[in-house]
Amino acid sequence: MNGFYKFREQLFSLRWWRSWATVVAGALVMAAGFVLFINPYYIVPGGVYGTGVVLHYLFPDIAVGTFGLMLDVPLLLIGLRVFGGREQERVKPSTLSFARAHRINSLNAP
């Protein structure tokens, strides 16, 4: 057995809820950071969402979260093929919640 199984929690236990709440809270904080600091001041970070920021500057009608999601989906599929689904059980929901939170935050941003 590999090391990932030791981190599995019992479904719907307090530890499970706390774990998922931190995943969603982290995605919300990251999305707020992008909307409030990265995008308005034209800062380009590295990685997939940095590429999304650059593409957003080139095509301003499409949100950064949409570009990030478009670039993350192929990477998630490659990771699913290489590593299997067990290791991605928190990656997929955090990616989707970040992209969605970024879209919601960008609608409410000044």
- The CA angle 58-63-69, to the nearest 5 degrees, is 105
Which pLDDT value is given to residue 36?
A: 87
C-alpha distances (whole Å) from 101 to each of 23, 34, 69 are 12, 10, 12
pTM, whole model, 2 decimals?
Answer: 0.71
Which of 5-9, 82-86, 93-97 is the least confident region? 5-9
Which pLDDT value is given to residue 7?
A: 56
pLDDT at 65 over 70: yes
C-alpha distances (whole Å) from 89 to each of 23, 34, 39, 48, 57 are 11, 24, 29, 20, 32
As a whole-number percent, the residues of the chain with pLDDT over 70 amount to 83
The pLDDT mean for the chain works out to 80
Q: What pLDDT, in 10s, does the model give residues 68-80?
A: 889 988 988 888 8
pLDDT at 4 over 60: no
Q: For the chain, report the end-to-end CA distance as a whole number of angstroms.
A: 50
| Structural contact between residues 92 and 80, judged by C-beta atoms closer than 8 angstroms | no
